[in-house]
Amino acid sequence: METGGVDRIFCEGLDLGCERLKSELIRLCRIPSTSGQSDGENRVMALIEKQLEEIRAISGGALKIFKYKVPNDPFDRNHVAALLKGKGPRTVILIGHVDVVDTSPYGSLRDLAFNPELLKEAMRGIKELPPEVEDDLKSRRFLFGRGVLDMKAGLVLEMNLLRELVKARIETGNVLFCPVVDEERDSVGMRGALPFLKEVMESEGLDYVACVNTEPCELGGADDKRPIFIGSVGKLMPFVLVLGKPSHVGEPWLGINAAHLASRIVLDLEGVPWSSDEIGDDRFPPMACMEISVVRESYSVTIPDMALLYFNKLAVEDDHGVFLSSFKKACEESLRRAISDWEERLSLCGLPSPTLEKGIRIVEVRDVIDEARRNGFREDSVISAQASNKEEMDTRKMSLMILLEAIKTIPIEPPAAVVGFLPPYYPSKVNRNKSVKEKMLRKLAEDLCVKWSNRFGEPFVLKEAFGGITDLSFLGGGTSVEDLRAVLDNMPGASTLYPLDLDAMRMLDVPVINIGVGGKDAHKWTERLDMEFSFRVVPDMLMEFVREILSADFVR
């Protein structure tokens, strides 16, 4: 059923205007807010603040607006938040991000990516579109454009929920709307919001019982079922800096090529089954290599003596220390095989055997940094030297640069490797069904999935963890201090490049749920929002969940 001709709908007593929601979404989308580029994220926050002021004007003083700087942010971004106060401490947090990924996939249509109406018209003139995209272009049901799905539609629905709660004069409990910047880059926004959430909790006497996100529900969906997630997958970025031995290309037996060693590690670890985590009936993809490159300042005919590779590892298990041990062991075995292979190939060519020292040294980042510090090395001097290049600053490159400078101060006999983690790091956030709040949220979500399936005529299913990375990861969880330290202590420059308020995370520890909008192709040039589902169904779902969780009987 198309929604273009529908201007008013009725959901559980709430009179929602689809056209109003669409108009508000287009206003947000017309502001280019690519992570860390120009002032787009601040402009979106300013527009949100203006809309919150309009809601406060009808709230009778019940809505309180906050504005604060994102701490430790090289781009000088702002946050705005709003607290709808009712009776009692019980509080639901609403989160969402204002930033989007870049528009390079749009090619010649890049200038139209932030103008949904013009973009759709321009796309109709493109030949040889995928049949599904072509069909959706003909339908009035879908809105195309960067950010319509991921995730400005979710922000619009969360603000709409605040507005409708104010109109309904619902007094039980509180709702805290907390939009953030930078989710698509390094989650500077959500990490920076942790102290704010802790401060507001203490100053306003709040008890956070749930955090709701409205990320698009397509990722991790089961066939034609609509997924409701009560957790979010974590993310690790394990890396290896391989140290080979340089030599002239005419005398390769005098060295060992770091690129050869790194390539073997990729072959052995890419997609390795032991790196695939599972929870419930869901199994997540194994490690994938995200980069492999030779590290050197300029070209020469010298065999490369240094190479970098890093992986993306989705995680729902919290045993990061165990994972690091397995990763180190696997890297050492790969290096041994690579060196043995190199010796055999030289022999087959009738060339001398490599002149390498016996043994392979695998060291962790924290050991390298500790030794370098004893030799006078300081991470902050490396970071400050790059502070003026904030537009081009990449935390992964900065982290690696710190390690490379540290290595210069200490001797490491090749062949060797340094292993650790690059930013960003996202802890897994899963519902262990242990605390009273976790049990309550899980039970309510299970009941609502059944209820919504019957009401809306399509199946809803409860899923343990959202398959994409979300800011829900930072709402506390079961990751131990030891496992957190296994990651952060082995991340070069973590305290400056990736500060994480562990005390605030532990204090918050809020159960989470993702009730997402519908659509297709997030992050692609064919990104589009299903307005039929997102504007006619999701508002009702959000309202019902918030009402139920705020009034639920928390039985211990």
Give the pLDDT of residue 280: 83
Residues 388 and 255 in one domain: yes
Residues 127 and 212 in one domain: yes
* Residue 67, both tokens: 């504005």
Domain that holds residue 190: 20-233+427-475+510-551
Residue 514: pLDDT above 70? yes
Give the pLDDT of residue 7: 30
- Higher pLDDT: 264 or 383? It is 264
- DSSP one-letter string for 519-533: EE-TTSTT-EEEHHH
- Higher pLDDT: 435 or 251? It is 435
In the chain, the percentage of residues whose pLDDT exceeds 90 is: 74
Instruction: Give CA–CA dist 224/18, Å, rounded.
Output: 24
Residues 415 and 443 in one domain: no
Select from 393, 421, 449 the last residue of a domain: 421
Q: Using pLDDT thresholds of 50, 70 and 90, give the confidence band for residue 298.
A: confident
For 58, residues 6+ apart whose C-beta sits below 8 A from its C-beta are 166, 167
Element (H, E) at 401: helix 395-407
Does residue 248 lie within any of the structural domains?
Answer: yes
Residues 417 and 441 in one domain: no
Does residue 80 lie within any of the structural domains?
Answer: yes
Residues 249 and 288 in one domain: yes
Q: End-to-end alpha-carbon separation of the chain, Å?
A: 44
Give the pLDDT of residue 249: 82
Residues 182 and 52 in one domain: yes
Residue 516: pLDDT above 80? yes
CB 549 within 8 A of CB 513: no
Residue 17: pLDDT above 80? no
Give the pLDDT of residue 8: 33
CATH code assigned at 199: 3.40.630.10
Residue 147: pLDDT above 90? yes
Residues 246 and 361 in one domain: yes
Residues 206 and 311 in one domain: no
Instruction: Give CA–CA dist 344/337, Å, rounded.
Output: 11
- Taking every pair of Cα atoms in the chain, the longest distance, rounded to a whole number of angstroms, is 88
**Chain segment 458-513, per-residue pLDDT in tens:** 999 999 999 888 999 999 877 888 999 999 999 999 998 999 999 899 889 999 99
Residues 130 and 227 in one domain: yes
Does residue 489 lie within any of the structural domains?
Answer: no
Residues 289 and 221 in one domain: no
CATH code assigned at 318: 3.30.70.360
Kindly state the average pLDDT of the residues 286-305. 89
Does residue 481 lie within any of the structural domains?
Answer: no
Mean pLDDT, all residues of the chain: 90
Amino acid at 545: F
Q: Please report how the helices 481-488 and 320-348 are oriented relative to each other, as an axis angle in degrees rounded to 10.
A: 40
Instruction: For residue 131, count CB atoms less than 10 angstroms from its CB and return exposed for 0-12, middle for 13-18, buried for 19 or more.
Output: exposed
Residue 13: pLDDT above 50? no
Closest C-alpha among 313, 415, 302, 318 to residue 363: 415
**Chain segment 381-439, per-residue pLDDT in tens:** 887 766 655 555 688 999 999 999 999 999 888 899 999 999 999 999 999 999 999 99
Does residue 336 lie within any of the structural domains?
Answer: yes
Q: Using pLDDT thresholds of 50, 70 and 90, give the confidence band for residue 10.
A: very low
Q: Using pLDDT thresholds of 50, 70 and 90, give the confidence band for residue 274.
A: very high
Kindly state the average pLDDT of the residues 225-233. 94
Select from 381, 402, 421 the last residue of a domain: 421
Kindly state the average pLDDT of the residues 150-171. 94
Does residue 152 lie within any of the structural domains?
Answer: yes
Give the pLDDT of residue 481: 87
- Lowest mean per-residue pLDDT among 141-150, 339-348, 426-435, 525-534: 339-348
Give the pLDDT of residue 219: 61
Instruction: Give CA–CA dist 534/541, Å, rounded.
Output: 10
Q: Using pLDDT thresholds of 50, 70 and 90, give the confidence band for residue 11.
A: very low
Give the pLDDT of residue 539: 96
Residues 163 and 190 in one domain: yes
Does residue 317 lie within any of the structural domains?
Answer: yes
**Chain segment 345-384, per-residue pLDDT in tens:** 888 888 888 776 667 899 999 999 999 999 999 888 887 7
Residue 268: pLDDT above 70? yes
Kindly state the average pLDDT of the residues 188-193. 96
Kindly state the average pLDDT of the residues 96-118. 96
- Lowest mean per-residue pLDDT among 93-97, 167-171, 532-536: 167-171
Give the pLDDT of residue 224: 79
**Chain segment 534-552, per-residue pLDDT in tens:** 999 999 999 999 999 999 8
Does residue 14 lie within any of the structural domains?
Answer: no
| Total domains present in the chain | 2
Residues 211 and 123 in one domain: yes
Give the pLDDT of residue 56: 97
Q: Using pLDDT thresholds of 50, 70 and 90, give the confidence band for residue 15.
A: very low
Give the pLDDT of residue 390: 53
